[in-house]
Amino acid sequence: MDQFIFEDGSGNLSNGQGDSVAVLAMDVDNEQYPLNGITNFCEYLDLKPPEKPVKKSKAKISEEVITTASVEQAGNNKKSYRSYKSEDKTKFFFLVYEKQLSVRAACKTIKIPASTGQNCSKKGVESLERGEDLPQTKDIGTVGRPAKLSQDHKEYLISIVDEKPDLVLEEMVEQMNSQFMDLEIGKSALHKFLTEKCQITLKRAHLYSIERNNHTKIEERYNWVKKWQETDMDFESNCVFIDEAAFHINMKRNYAWSSKGEWAIVKIPKTRAKTTTIIGAISSIVIINNKVKLPKVTAPSKKRKATIGFVQTQTDVMDQFEVFKGHYLIMDNAPIHKNQDIQLYIEGRGYKCVYLPPYSPELNPIEQFWSVVKSKLKRVALLDEETLSSRISDACNQVMIQDLKGFCRYSASKWD
């Protein structure tokens, strides 16, 4: 349970219930639980790349174009309009009402502006309400054989993919042919229908634990969000996110080039590389403190002491900058984090300790940060004069502030 510590002005400390408490003094043996620096607040601000220029929105660009055009055409009130043949209107209504395309898709098909299509569609609806007929569409026929797959097939395909996303095409064909007695379809036709009509494509799978989406875990996430929405906690203004990530020298990209029809093979050493653990802390405006945990001890209790040592240095850094005053320190609910000593120490230093609900990586922006750092690390092979730590440091310092803001916005959007 989260609690806050208050001082009465005379040096006496108490919790929210008025009970006297004492702040735990962290005394960590840095030789037994070593942490080497990767990057920090000042180093990151010195080495980060320049921010990308802010792109103008389409609305802003359109406004500027209209303004420029108005200046150039001042005094000329004549407007030019494109006239459309009855065949164009007939085809438009055929696509919208017979083919069930959206107005935007129909406009794109026959190459007319979306605004014109919206206006035409509105007039068509008004004609129907008056009992008038739409332009005849019977003479607009489809080219080639009639389609085998209909809306019923589309709905069934979407349902089986939602239920089991890792189906292969052979399984889909088998299920379709058994569900619809008069249907005979091959893999190629089904694949085309999947991608073009159902808007379903094959992608790299992201594996989630079964526990993640059971009723209990969903309820825990809901209650967590509801609780913290009632506070002033804001991912984009007053939060610091802490987590660990594992790296090794044999990390490779998940995609590679090869000749058509051949496997993309990337050779890796036979022996498993030693894993290096990085503990990091970021906010929406800066990388605050990243350190490498040297693989000296592995017992859970000793791992916890290494985390305590990092929290101590982390709060020391934050104390130097007024911008972090009273911030929330957010961590996942790993056992090495959920230690009462860590929580009491954080709150005794004037910060607030928050633990995320189980199986909720999307709520922690630093997860996306580590993903970007790893992708940068995988792009180029390690040079002889480089070390893994130096490469990780370079990758961290290449992340831009606008990326950090984007990570926080994404996680905040998952509250809804």
DSSP string, 37-54: EEEEHHHHHHHSPPPPPP
> Which pLDDT value is given to residue 134?
53
CATH number at residue 373: 3.30.420.10
Q: Are residues 272 and 409 both part of a single domain?
A: yes
| Secondary structure of residue 292 in the 3-state scheme | strand
> Which pLDDT value is given to residue 2?
46
Q: Of 149, 181, 196, which closes a domain? A: 196
What is the greatest pairwise CA distance in the chain?
A: 91
| 246, 388 Cβ separation under 8 angstroms | no
Q: Is residue 209 in a domain? A: no
Q: Of 167, 196, 225, which closes a domain? A: 196
- How many structural domains comprise the chain? 3
Q: Of 144, 169, 196, which closes a domain? A: 196
User: Which residue in this structure is represented by tokens 């693989």?
Assistant: 295
Q: Is residue 80 in a domain? A: no
Q: Is residue 70 in a domain? A: no
pTM of the model as a whole? 0.63
Q: Are residues 248 and 345 both part of a single domain?
A: yes
- Give the domain range for residue 184: 159-196
Q: Are residues 243 and 382 both part of a single domain?
A: yes
Q: Are residues 299 and 399 both part of a single domain?
A: yes
> Which pLDDT value is given to residue 203?
84
Res 24 pLDDT > 50:
no
| 249, 392 Cβ separation under 8 angstroms | no
Question: Which among 202, 221, 337, 360 is positioned nearest to 281, based on CA atoms?
Answer: 337
Query: What are residue 354's DSSP bridge partners?
Result: 330
Dihedrals φ, ψ of 247, to 5°?
-130, 155
User: Phi-psi category of 11—alpha, beta or left, where left has phi over 0 and alpha has psi -120 to 50?
Assistant: left
Q: Are residues 284 and 378 both part of a single domain?
A: yes
Q: Is residue 59 in a domain? A: no
Question: Which among 48, 410, 395 is positioned nearest to 245, based on CA atoms?
Answer: 395
Q: What string of H, E and C letters represents the secondary structure of 215-279?
A: HHHHHHHHHHHHHHHCCCCCCCCCEEEEEEEEECCCCCCCCCCCCCCCCCCCCCCCCCCCCEEEE
Q: Is residue 309 in a domain? A: yes
Q: Are residues 168 and 260 both part of a single domain?
A: no
Q: Is residue 67 in a domain? A: no
**Cα Rg, the chain, nearest whole Å:** 30
Confidence band for 23, pLDDT divided at 50, 70 and 90: very low
Give the whole-angstrom CA distance, residue 244 versus residue 367.
9
Give the whole-angstrom CA distance, residue 216 versus residue 212.
9
Q: Are residues 33 and 90 both part of a single domain?
A: no
Give the whole-angstrom CA distance, residue 189 versus residue 168.
14
Cα 356 from chain centroid (whole Å): 17
| Host H or E run for residue 328 | strand 328-331
Q: Is residue 239 in a domain? A: yes
pLDDT in tens, 136-194: 444 444 545 667 888 899 999 999 999 888 889 999 999 998 899 888 888 898 999 99
Q: Are residues 240 and 388 both part of a single domain?
A: yes
Q: Are residues 114 and 166 both part of a single domain?
A: no
Question: Which among 215, 210, 224 is positioned nearest to 333, based on CA atoms?
Answer: 224
- For residues 211-226, average pLDDT: 88
Q: Are residues 269 and 335 both part of a single domain?
A: yes
Confidence band for 69, pLDDT divided at 50, 70 and 90: low
Q: Are residues 33 and 166 both part of a single domain?
A: no
Q: Which two tokens stand for residue 209?
A: 């634990």
Give the whole-angstrom CA distance, residue 289 versus residue 320.
13
Give the whole-angstrom CA distance, residue 12 versus residue 6.
8
- For residues 94-110, average pLDDT: 79
Question: Which among 351, 341, 355 is positioned nearest to 22, based on CA atoms?
Answer: 341
Give the whole-angstrom CA distance, residue 402 versus residue 372.
13
Q: Is residue 140 in a domain? A: no
User: Phi-psi category of 111—alpha, beta or left, where left has phi over 0 and alpha has psi -120 to 50?
Assistant: left
- For residues 346-355, average pLDDT: 93
Q: Are residues 308 and 255 both part of a single domain?
A: yes
Residue-level length of the chain: 416
pLDDT in tens, 304-344: 666 788 888 889 999 999 999 999 999 998 888 888 888 88
